[in-house]
């Protein structure tokens, strides 16, 4: 209908009225989305009424990549509650071709199967048939792990507007891209949008089209393991001798020109420098190179490094005597480390859960303007890295010398701003929110 109206107006309006046409098009889109919101809210009310009569509630968690999984605590709570039947569905990552899609699906499936989840793949590789979730599982609740259109349409929010849906961000949001993170289809259309703190709720209220009516402040479940006792991390470090201080170097993917207006990445400035520091301090430290999953893809572009140089560089870290390459999960790595050097977004907050020192590498003096208020506050609690000397000083004085003068400031910020509300974990807050809604 919208396409038809635009074509008619394009014929009747003079050429110099193109701006009017664009404005009208945006207006019609806005009205259309508002109507979608109204209809979706009505469907949620109907679904909520129906779910209260159910003795067993089927919950499907849509997962595209295992590194984005932040629902472990929620899943385990549901697993232990006889009212719920939770299952993880491995959905396809379709933007990098069929072979890569199959590889990622199999990796995620194997990981979740090994860890005791009830898990299935969306694709039957024998028949080539994709799972019809509505017909074959018919879940009462669907939980999304990724808001972007990187999977098949049948596993996206638009296909589940008549279902109770939830979304938990896969990273702790710190960027200034408020429209993208609070006004996307996923954030507006889900039944419940579980976010980190009240600052994020205010951002959602300001930028979302639904006035954040679906937002619940719960804290960030991705780091809950740091808040509960009994977690026994694996020692993932190459050198087990504790005399070697353990430093993570986490490199972001937003290299200049490919940074989606963020341009956090300092990788091209420090790629060789970090190898040199690993050698310079080889009697005292070991470094884990933890690149963002998209960094390899960006570096491999012909206009940057190319695939050969990128693969060779990654291999160097893998083979280094006091270095290692880490491309998967990072909770064990965080838990058993001594310090972090990085230029990332979500890690700005996530590493605060460890209480350990951080050196943030500043690409430029305007970097703070590309963070939201939470990110800006966190950055002020870190040591600043603007050149090679700053990195060397941090390694020498803070890490090896144990002179962490910012420790108390970081801890106060964590307790007052970052820690989940209600003196429980974020996962417990999410679970209780869902139970409260379906029980009343």
Task: Say whether pLDDT at 95 is over 60.
Answer: yes
Task: Say whether pLDDT at 101 is over 70.
Answer: yes
Q: Tell me how far apart the alpha carbons of residues 371 and 276 are, in angstroms, rounded to a whole number.
A: 30
Long-range CB contacts (< 8 A, 24+ apart) of 68-71? Answer: 68/145, 68/146, 68/170, 69/145, 69/170, 70/145, 70/168, 70/169, 70/170, 70/220, 70/221, 70/222, 71/143, 71/145, 71/168, 71/221, 71/427
- Please give the pLDDT value at position 105: 94
CA distances from residue 209 to 28, 160, 167, 197, 213 in whole angstroms, order as listed = 14, 19, 16, 19, 10
Q: Is the dihedral of CA 77, 435, 36, 22 positive or negative?
A: negative
Q: Tell me how far apart the alpha carbons of residues 148 and 205 are, in angstroms, rounded to a whole number.
A: 20
Task: Say whether pLDDT at 440 is over 80.
Answer: no
- Residue 340's DSSP bridge partners are 248, 358
Q: What does the pLDDT average to over 273-290? A: 98
Q: Is 143 helix (H, G, I), strand (E, B) or coil?
A: strand
Q: What does the pLDDT average to over 142-152? A: 94
- Please give the pLDDT value at position 18: 60
CA distances from residue 424 to 59, 218, 220, 281, 420 in whole angstroms, order as listed = 23, 9, 11, 41, 7
Environment class of 334 (CB within 10 Å of its CB; exposed 0-12, middle 13-18, buried 19+) = buried
Q: Tell me how far apart the alpha carbons of residues 402 and 182 are, in angstroms, rounded to a whole number.
A: 40
Task: Say whether pLDDT at 16 is over 60.
Answer: no
- Please give the pLDDT value at position 15: 57
pLDDT digits (tens, 9 = 90+) for 162-220: 999 999 999 999 999 999 999 999 999 999 999 999 999 999 999 999 999 999 999 99
Task: Say whether pLDDT at 147 is over 70.
Answer: yes
Per-domain residue ranges of the chain:
23-224+422-439, 245-418
- Please give the pLDDT value at position 85: 97
Q: Which tokens belong to 181?
A: 């993170």
- Please give the pLDDT value at position 97: 86
pLDDT digits (tens, 9 = 90+) for 306-345: 999 999 999 999 999 999 999 988 999 999 999 999 999 9
Confidence of residue 12 (pLDDT cuts 50, 70, 90): low
Q: What does the pLDDT average to over 278-282? A: 98
- Please give the pLDDT value at position 268: 97
Query: What is the average pLDDT score of the chain?
Result: 92
* Cα 239 from chain centroid (whole Å): 29
Q: Which tokens belong to 198?
A: 């009240």
Kindly give, in sequence order, each residue whose CB lies less than 8 Å from that of residue 339, ignoring residues fewer than 6 positions away. Answer: 245, 246, 247, 248, 356, 357, 358, 359, 394, 398, 399
- Please give the pLDDT value at position 90: 97
Task: Say whether pLDDT at 396 is over 90.
Answer: yes
Spatial CA neighbour of 385 closest among 264, 258, 303, 279: 264
Q: What does the pLDDT average to over 150-168? A: 96
- Please give the pLDDT value at position 67: 80
Q: What does the pLDDT average to over 392-413? A: 97
Q: What does the pLDDT average to over 90-116? A: 92
Q: Tell me how far apart the alpha carbons of residues 144 and 154 are, in angstroms, rounded to a whole number.
A: 13
Task: Say whether pLDDT at 35 is over 70.
Answer: yes
Kindly give, in sequence order, each residue whose CB lies less than 8 Å from that of residue 230, ignoring residues fewer than 6 positions away. Answer: none
- Please give the pLDDT value at position 256: 85
**Phi, psi (rounded to 5 degrees) for 144:** -95, 150
Contact of 345 with 375, CB cutoff 8 Å: yes
- Please give the pLDDT value at position 343: 96
CATH for the stretch 245-418: 3.40.50.2000
Spatial CA neighbour of 420 closest among 433, 439, 409: 433
CATH for the stretch 23-224+422-439: 3.40.50.2000
Confidence of residue 21 (pLDDT cuts 50, 70, 90): low
Confidence of residue 3 (pLDDT cuts 50, 70, 90): low
- Please give the pLDDT value at position 135: 95
Put simply, whether the predicted model's pTM sits higher than 0.85 gets the answer: yes
- Identical fold for domains 23-224+422-439 and 245-418, yes or no, is yes
Q: Tell me how far apart the alpha carbons of residues 91 and 130 are, in angstroms, rounded to a whole number.
A: 10
């Amino acid at each position: 209908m919208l396409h038809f109206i635009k074509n008619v107006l394009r014929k009747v309006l003079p050429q110099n009225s193109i701006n009017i046409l664009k404005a009208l098009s945006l207006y019609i889109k806005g009205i259309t989305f508002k109507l979608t919101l109204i209809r979706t809210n009505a469907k949620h009310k109907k679904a909520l009424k129906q779910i209260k009569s159910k003795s067993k509630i089927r919950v499907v968690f849509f997962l595209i990549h295992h590194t984005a999984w932040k629902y472990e605590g929620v899943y385990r709570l549901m697993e232990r509650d006889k009212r719920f039947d939770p299952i993880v569905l491995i959905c396809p990552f379709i933007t990098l071709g069929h072979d890569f899609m199959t590889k990622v699906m199999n990796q995620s499936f194997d990981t979740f199967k090994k860890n005791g989840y009830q898990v299935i793949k969306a694709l039957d590789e024998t028949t080539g048939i994709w799972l019809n979730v509505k017909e074959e599982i018919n879940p009462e609740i669907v939980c999304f792990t990724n808001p972007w259109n990187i999977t098949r349409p049948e596993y996206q929010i638009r296909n589940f507007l008549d279902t109770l849906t939830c979304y938990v961000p896969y990273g702790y949001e710190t960027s200034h891209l408020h429209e993208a993170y609070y006004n996307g289809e996923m954030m507006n259309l889900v039944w419940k949008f579980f976010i980190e703190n009240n600052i994020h709720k205010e951002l959602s209220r300001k930028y979302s089209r639904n006035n954040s009516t679906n937002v619940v402040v719960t804290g960030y479940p991705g780091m809950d393991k740091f808040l509960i006792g009994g977690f026994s991390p694996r020692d993932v470090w190459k050198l087990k001798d504790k005399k070697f201080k353990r430093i993570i170097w986490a490199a972001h993917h937003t290299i200049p020109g490919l940074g989606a207006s963020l341009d956090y990445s300092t990788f091209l400035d420090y790629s060789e420098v970090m190898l040199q520091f690993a050698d310079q301090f080889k009697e005292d430290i070991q470094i884990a190179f933890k690149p963002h999953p998209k960094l390899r893809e960006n570096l491999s572009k012909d206009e940057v490094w190319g695939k050969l140089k990128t693969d060779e560089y990654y291999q160097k870290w893998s083979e280094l005597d006091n270095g290692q390459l880490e491309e998967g999960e990072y909770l064990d790595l965080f838990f058993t480390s001594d310090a972090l050097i990085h230029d990332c977004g979500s890690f700005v907050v996530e590493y605060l859960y460890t209480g350990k020192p951080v050196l943030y590498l500043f690409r430029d003096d305007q970097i703070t303007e590309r963070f939201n208020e939470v990110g800006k506050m966190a950055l002020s609690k870190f040591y600043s890295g603007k050149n090679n000397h700053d990195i060397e000083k941090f390694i020498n004085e803070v890490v090896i010398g144990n002179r962490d003068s910012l420790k108390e400031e970081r801890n106060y910020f964590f307790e007052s701003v970052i820690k989940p509300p209600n003196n429980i974990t974020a996962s417990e807050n999410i679970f209780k929110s869902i139970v409260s809604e379906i029980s009343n």
